[in-house]
Amino acid sequence: MSLPEEMHQCQTMNCGYIYDPDRGDRKGKIKKGIQFGDLPEGWKCPVCGATVKAFRPLAGPGSAHEENAKPPAETGAKNVEEGAEAGMEKYTCDICGFEYNPVEGDEAAGIAPGTAFDDLPDDYECPVCGAGKEEFSVS
């Protein structure tokens, strides 16, 4: 059985698919034993079609559980009231519904917590569907 650090879960709304290297992905023709980091370029979630950017490990560095366990001061995140006052609104992808939360940033894309949507690079793309910044609206 794979360790939780080796398994990755899709973070898209209403999905939650878990990639387990011990099982592989029959739909995507990924054989058993292939680690998440070794998946071929272009692999997508067999349930919702999200890219690997939408996945996080179940445990360990980069996991959603690890980030939720840290107090906001340790992650560099501001509290919700401070964020709203500083122009840190959440933005939602109009195509797939992914929500960019500036308090959390986008670790998979190298975006640090506390980065306002307006401060994202011009070529920032939705980690789920690949839509550009122009396809996002204030939540």
Q: Which token pair is 89? A: 């609104």
Percent residues over pLDDT 70 in the chain? 83
Asked if 83 and 39 sit in the same domain, the reply is no
Q: Has residue 131 got a pLDDT over 80?
A: yes
Q: For the chain, what is the mean pLDDT?
A: 81
List CB contacts of 44: < 8 A, sequence separation 6 or more: 28, 50, 51
In the prediction, which pLDDT does 108 show? Answer: 78
Average pLDDT score over residue span 12-40:
91
Distances in Å between the alpha carbon of 129 and those of 33, 69, 75, 90? 27, 28, 26, 18
Asked if 1 and 61 sit in the same domain, the reply is yes
Q: Is 102 helix (H, G, I), strand (E, B) or coil?
A: coil
Of 40, 69, 98, the domain-final residue: 69
Asked if 1 and 58 sit in the same domain, the reply is yes
Question: What is d(CA 135, CA 125) in angstroms, rounded to the nearest whole number?
Answer: 9
Of 69, 94, 129, the domain-final residue: 69
Q: Has residue 133 got a pLDDT over 80?
A: yes
Residue 82: domain span: 76-138
Q: What is the secondary structure of 27-77 as a DSSP string?
A: TTTBPTT--GGGSPTT-B-TTT--BGGGEEESSSTT-HHHHHHS-HHHHTP
Asked if 60 and 122 sit in the same domain, the reply is no
Asked if 5 and 51 sit in the same domain, the reply is yes
Residue range 56-84, pLDDT digits in tens: 898 888 776 665 544 444 444 444 444 44
Average pLDDT score over residue span 22-40:
93
